[in-house]
Structures are given as C-alpha cells and as structure tokens.
Amino acid sequence: MIIYVESNFVLELALEQEDAASAKTILSLAEQGVVELSFPVFALIEPYWTIGKNKLDRDNLYRLLYNQVKLLKRSEQHRALASVLDPVMEEMQKLYKKENDLLELSVRRLLKVGRPIAITGSVVAQSLSYQGQFDFTPQDAVIYAALMADLQQRDPAEVKCFTSRDTQFDDPGIKAELQLYNCRHIVEFRHALQYIESTNKPDDS
C-alpha cells in the first residue's frame, strides 16, 4: 500500500499539532515496512519557509511586547503583570529552535524511510495547467502534478492513498481523477490511519 503525503504532514510532525499522533503512527508504519511512504521532494522544503515565517511574525510580536514590558516595569502597579510576561517572552525566543530541530528530525526520518518524488520540468509544466483547472496555488499545483506523475508510473492494481489536510485537494474532480489510479484522497491523518489499518487487516476467512 502506498501512502502519499505532502507539506502539511511534515508540519504536523514538526509542530506537534492536533493530529500529530496519527501522523507519527503512519510514519512508524512506513519504518516497519507496513506501507510505502512517498512525497514530492518540495514537501520537505516548504515547511522550512512556514517555520521561518512563523519566526518572523513572533519576532515582530516579541519586539512589541518587549517595549510594552519595559513600560510596565516602570509603573509600580503594573510590575506584577510585567513579571508574568517575562517568562512568556523567554519561551517565545526558544520556539524557533525547538520547531526547527523537530522539523529536521522529521525530514531525516522521512528521507530515510520514504521515497521522494522529483520535481522535474514536466511536473512544473503540468502544474501550470493544474493552477487554472483546479484554482490551485502554485505550491499545491506542483504537489499535485508530482503526485499525478508518480501515479501514472505505478501499478494500477496497487492500493494508494493521498492524505492531506489541505482542503484544496478535497475537490470532487480531484477525487475522481485520483480514483482512476486506485488512489483515495483522505483529509484527516487519523482517518487515513484508520483506512491503512482496515486495508491491512488480516483476512480471517
């Protein structure tokens, strides 16, 4: 069974978001050889941009808070509030390293067990068509074009699943196109995990 993932799967692991437990289990199943994990190589790059942008946003917020805390400390009636904010600001400064370290660990695990799909010139060319056809962002169009290029080279009889929390992929036209290659699209990682477990359940008959 082939499981296709993209950028938000990597971010789920790195940021330990609400469905991270299911994503971790899917990755573990790939490490055990239960499923094959495949992803466009671009999916390993885009999360670094996201985490970098989060850092810039937090840095801006930190500067605003820092100036406000300085003012609060000058006022006797507000010093208690300033003392509460100080440790919060310290933790904000540590977030980027924590997230980046976990992202690097996740990427290394994916590279070790998974199969990256190359972003070739033909994939980029096809992505331009998908932008108009499905109203994709350029990033999502590249992800989908890489996925389709790989599906066209796979055994049609092999069971496949594309799991992504990006609702742009949850489109009837996309689902129908994926079904032509025996591939299901599942939005939530926990539902994808349930599908994996049900598909790989031993036949008692």
Q: What is the DSSP string of 76-128?
A: GGGHHHHHHHHHHHHHHHHHHHHHHHHHHHHHHHHHHHSEEEP--HHHHHHHH
How much is the pTM?
0.84
Whether pLDDT at 95 is above 80: yes
**Chain-wide mean pLDDT for the chain?**
90
How far apart are alpha carbons 53 and 51 in whole angstroms? 5
**Residue 117 pairs with which residues in a beta bridge?**
40
How far apart are alpha carbons 183 and 3 in whole angstroms? 9
DSSP string across 163-176: E-S-GGG--HHHHH
In 3-state terms, what secondary structure has residue 16? Answer: coil
Q: N- to C-terminal Cα distance for the chain?
A: 21
Q: Note the pLDDT tens digit of each residue in 134-164.
A: 888 999 999 999 999 999 999 999 999 999 9
Mean pLDDT for the stretch of residues 89-98? 84
